[in-house]
Structure 1
């Protein structure tokens, strides 16, 4: 499977959501912004939303290591 390109703007949104989640204060607007961006990116590139979300989460969490 080809590597999924994730734009920096989407990484920024996911990093913010992950930081909020770790602090126990993830807000609906933050989560919604991420999900909207994921859906739009997936649709624009004709790839699975789930594949985009999984790759996005992998990259953000891997950056912590």
Structure 2
């Protein structure tokens, strides 16, 4: 996964890219939620339900990928996962407390 050595885990820049991808997927899901929020969930069309499910699944998959990569990175570098997570979120542009 590393851009420098294929035998090693992810580089820090890889983690930031994965986090930004997860953030983009979350933004798309929120846009879809906002667009459909005026309609009760039980009144959504099949297309709306399918679109929401696809967006939700994409976001969950992205979050899982970034968390797995953060764990590998933290273990390889002897750092606490929560500290690496906080560093990645800051580097990806998150505001507010992260630890």
Structures share fold, TM-score greater than 0.5: yes
Alpha-carbon distance in structure 2 between the residues aligned to 1:23 and 1:17: 10
The answer to which of 30-39 and 20-29 deviates more is 20-29
Map 1:22-33 to 2 at 5 A. Answer: 22-24=27-29, 25=55, 27-33=59-65
What TM-score, normalized by structure 2, do the two folds share? 0.52
RMSD: 1.6
4+ residue runs of structure 1 moved beyond 3 angstroms? Answer: none
Higher RCO (CA 8 Å, separation ≥ 6 residues):
1
User: Which sections of structure 2, spanning at least 5 residues, go unmatched?
Assistant: 1-10, 30-54, 95-99
Alpha-carbon distance in structure 1 between the residues aligned to 2:87 and 2:78: 15
What TM-score, normalized by structure 1, do the two folds share? 0.76
The answer to which of 24-33 and 13-22 deviates more is 24-33
Alpha-carbon distance in structure 2 between the residues aligned to 1:52 and 1:45: 10
Give the counterpart of 2:16 among 2, 6, 11.
11
Please say which structure displays the higher CA radius of gyration: 2
1:41 Cα deviation from its structure 2 partner: 0.4
Alpha-carbon distance in structure 1 between the residues aligned to 2:71 and 2:81: 6
